[in-house]
Amino acid sequence: MKHRGMVWLVALALVASGAAVADAKTYRWVDPKGVVHYSDTPPQVAPVEGERESLIAEALDISGLKKSLELIPGQIKAQIEQQRGPTAPKDKAGVLKILTDAFRPEVFYTAVRGEFQKGYDPQLMGLVVARLREPLFRKMAALELEASSAEARSHIERFAREVQASPPPQTRLGLIVRLEASSGAAEFNLELLVASFQAAIKAVTPMIPPERRAKPADVDSAVRMLRAQQQAIRAATLVNMLYAYRSTTDQELDEYAQFAESEPGRWFNRLSRQGVLAAMTAAAEAAARQTTKSLLPKS
């Protein structure tokens, strides 16, 4: 998405975020009988009890995270395909084959599961699964997956133009800002972009003649340039979220934001993202080892 022109949304979001503060401590939840409650205390949700591995698997599945991990290898492949000039490997097809193997979705799924196994908290996981089982959270997971699909890109670009011509109400944008801030979506998107770039460089370097390899200073400079896009990435993230949740009500967004702001929500997001970034590093190292091995003389 061409999002440079959307940086204005960040400034608008900062204004709108102030409008959401007054409602930040008003909680809404639906009890098992379908009755909607509002109060100044968090939702009274009973944690789910169960075996650790099964609860981890269920959380990763119904949250949509398991399916979203399948999209990451494509991002790495795109980084390689975009490389031109002296840092492009001669055998790009061979590198792509190695990357396809090293960055398999199951590698990321295993890494994320590993983070939850290391940082497991039965109380927090019980509360997370209890919320994820609710219809609203299943709906949100489906909307997020739809918005992250390749088919949605052209729709999001058109939606971005519409938002720029007709900004959303401050209340709506304020809710999106709350959700983005508590989930850390923009920060994670930036870290994933940087990690993807670094992984691509690490994977292809062994296939490039030493005299043509990117110097560490050049790589550091490129990373700084990527990080300098922080505002643009946040603007793009806000637009994507506005698009993803466009069919939801303000009350639904408020309830979803409250979960992201809660201890269980922050815990779930933190471990999920730690797992993805850890997998990115491990997969890059595996790809680099394989590309190095492919250069060895065949016996």
Nearest to 200 by CA among 69, 74, 77, 68: 77
205: closest CA among 216, 193, 195? 216
What the block records as the tokens of 226 is: 């990527």
What is the predicted pLDDT for the residue at 1? 45
**What are 39's strand-pairing partners?**
27
- pLDDT at position 89 is 56
CB 129 within 8 A of CB 259: no
pLDDT of residue 18: 53
**Residue listed under structure tokens 């994820």:** 132
Spatial separation of the C-alpha atoms in residues 286 and 270, rounded to whole Å: 24
With the C-alpha atoms ordered 123, 105, 183, 30, is the resulting torsion angle positive or negative?
A: negative
Q: Three-state SS across 67-90?
A: HHHHHHHHHHHHHHHCCCHHHCCC
Q: Provide the token pair at 18.
A: 């102030």
Helical H segments across the chain, by residue range: 8-20, 52-62, 65-68, 72-81, 92-102, 105-118, 122-132, 135-147, 153-165, 170-183, 185-204, 216-227, 230-244, 250-261, 263-295
pLDDT of the chain, 299 residues: tens digit per residue: 444 455 555 555 554 455 444 444 566 666 656 677 776 666 667 889 999 999 999 999 999 999 988 887 776 666 666 655 445 555 667 767 777 788 888 889 999 999 999 999 999 999 999 999 999 999 999 999 999 988 898 999 999 999 888 888 988 999 999 999 999 999 998 998 888 788 778 777 777 788 888 888 999 999 999 999 888 899 899 999 999 999 999 999 999 999 999 999 999 999 999 998 888 888 888 877 887 777 655 54
**pTM exceeds cut of 0.75:** yes
Are the C-beta atoms of residues 213 and 205 closer than 8 Å to each other?
yes
End-to-end Cα spacing for the chain = 48
CB 108 within 8 A of CB 276: yes
- Looking up tokens 């039965």, which residue turns up? 122
Distance CA 93, CA 246 (A): 40
**How far is it between the farthest Cα atoms of the chain?**
72
- Neighbouring CB atoms inside 10 A of 26's CB total 11
Contact between 281 and 199 under an 8 Å Cβ cutoff? The reply is yes
d(CA 45, CA 271): 21
Domain ranges of the chain: 48-294
In three-state secondary structure terms, 279 is helix
